[in-house]
């Protein structure tokens, strides 16, 4: 079983300052994770479903159904949306958590967080301007659109987006830093609400009405949890690097 040692999985400790492809992680043997890799290969959160009440179980199980077609994003926006979400999350092979469809569904139904930055438009407008900006940058590099662009270009554009290095006019006048934060809030909320992501991080799922037994003690596992397949301590490694 593979194991990363001495912090070589941390980008800042690698010669190219890039993380290794996540394929170094073990193959999932139980349940499903994004791309069928993860630190908890023998863990399936859905085996805990019998401990949830009916309402909770129905909500979680609904997230595993095949995603519906997109309703908010139009035919020209859909490929760009998929490419952007896949690049942001490094989902480059199946199975994938259907983040694009999950975000689209919430936008179509008007489900938002109930707040927005004072210098930003509604989130649905932000998304449309960001997607148009991604396509515009791809066209400047002689690609038809962002979805058709090469993987290195998509990663470069997303990297500049994350670093707030894109000009506001590229994004229809949006504050670049705020725009990235808005998009990532939607993307991460969708990804980590899905049971496949829970399997990847070893999350036990809803604790109602079961509750927790291990209320104290670092490293103690609940009866339904499983140990990880790799043993490095990312916090300790990060501290060593800072020193």
| Structural Rg of the chain based on CA atoms | 20
Quote the pLDDT of residue 12.
Answer: 55
Q: Which residues of the chain have pLDDT under 50?
A: 1-7, 9
Query: The pTM is what?
Result: 0.84
Q: Tokens in use for 68?
A: 């519906």
Quote the pLDDT of residue 14.
Answer: 52
Domain ranges of the chain: 11-63+194-242, 78-191
Q: How far apart are CA 200 and CA 52, in angstroms?
A: 20
Quote the pLDDT of residue 20.
Answer: 62
Quote the pLDDT of residue 1.
Answer: 41
């Amino acid at each position: 079983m593979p194991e990363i040692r001495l912090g070589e999985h941390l980008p800042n400790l690698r010669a190219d300052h890039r993380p290794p492809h996540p394929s170094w992680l073990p193959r999932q043997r139980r349940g499903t994770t994004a791309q069928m890799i993860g630190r908890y290969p023998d863990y399936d959160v859905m085996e805990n479903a019998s401990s949830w009440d009916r309402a909770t179980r129905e909500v979680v199980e609904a997230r595993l159904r095949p995603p519906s077609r997109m309703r908010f994003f139009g035919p020209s926006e859909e490929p760009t949306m998929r490419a952007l979400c896949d690049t942001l999350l490094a989902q480059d092979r199946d199975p994938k958590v259907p983040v694009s469809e999950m975000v689209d569904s919430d936008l179509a139904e008007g489900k938002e967080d109930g707040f927005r930055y004072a210098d930003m438009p509604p989130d649905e407008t932000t998304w449309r301007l960001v997607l148009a900006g991604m396509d515009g940058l791809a066209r400047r590099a002689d690609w038809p659109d962002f979805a058709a662009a090469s993987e290195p270009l998509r990663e470069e554009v997303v990297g500049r987006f994350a670093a707030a290095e894109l000009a506001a006019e590229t994004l229809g006048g949006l504050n670049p830093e705020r725009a990235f934060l808005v998009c990532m809030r939607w993307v991460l909320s969708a990804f980590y609400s899905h049971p496949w992501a829970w399997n990847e991080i070893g999350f036990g799922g809803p604790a109602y009405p079961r509750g927790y037994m291990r209320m104290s003690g670092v490293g103690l596992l609940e009866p339904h949890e499983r140990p990880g397949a790799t043993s490095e301590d990312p916090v300790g490694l990060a501290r060593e690097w800072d020193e």
